[in-house]
């Protein structure tokens, strides 16, 4: 149920990852509708009827995570850090990960036609 909050209406729910969320709306009907909508979305994700929304992370954040958690366990971690820092990070750094699609990948490959196919494939895989 929406709750009055500073002249507006607050809703609260638990997302598909178990984190508590809230939002505030100007009118009660809108808040009630949004609360039902959010709860139904969470239930659909839990049942496997809907995919969870991708996180709002930038490519830079993903690279930082990779450098901290994955690179130390990788035998070629030092080389991989260098490749990431020189090629994909400057290109995709400020973009949200969920906004990087086929077109951006194709543009990335096209800009690096002067490199060998294997080199480009390794960068994309990494």
- The 10s digit of each residue's pLDDT in 28-54 is 999 999 999 999 999 999 999 988 877
Q: Order of strands across the sheet with 8-14?
A: 3-5, 8-14, 20-25
Exposed (0-12), middle (13-18) or buried (19+): which is 109, by Cβ within 10 Å? middle
Q: Tokens for 98, please give them.
A: 């969920």
Q: Is residue 52 part of a domain?
A: no
What domain count does the chain have?
A: 2
The whole domain housing 73 covers 59-125
First-last CA distance in the chain: 46
Q: Tokens for 72, please give them.
A: 């130390």
pTM: 0.61
The band of 124, judged by pLDDT with boundaries at 50, 70 and 90, is confident
102 and 65 within one domain: yes
Q: Is residue 53 part of a domain?
A: no
């Amino acid at each position: 149920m929406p709750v009055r909050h500073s002249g507006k209406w607050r809703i609260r729910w638990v997302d598909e990852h178990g984190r508590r969320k809230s939002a505030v709306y100007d009118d009660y009907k809108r808040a009630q509708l949004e609360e039902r909508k959010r709860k139904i979305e969470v239930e659909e994700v839990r049942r496997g009827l809907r995919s969870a929304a991708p996180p709002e992370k930038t490519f830079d954040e993903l690279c930082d995570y990779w450098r901290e958690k994955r690179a130390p366990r990788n035998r070629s971690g030092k080389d991989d850090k260098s490749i990431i820092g020189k090629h994909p990070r400057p290109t995709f750094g400020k973009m949200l990960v969920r906004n990087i699609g086929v077109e951006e990948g194709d543009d990335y490959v096209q800009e690096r036609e002067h490199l060998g196919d294997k080199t480009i494939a390794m960068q994309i895989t990494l």
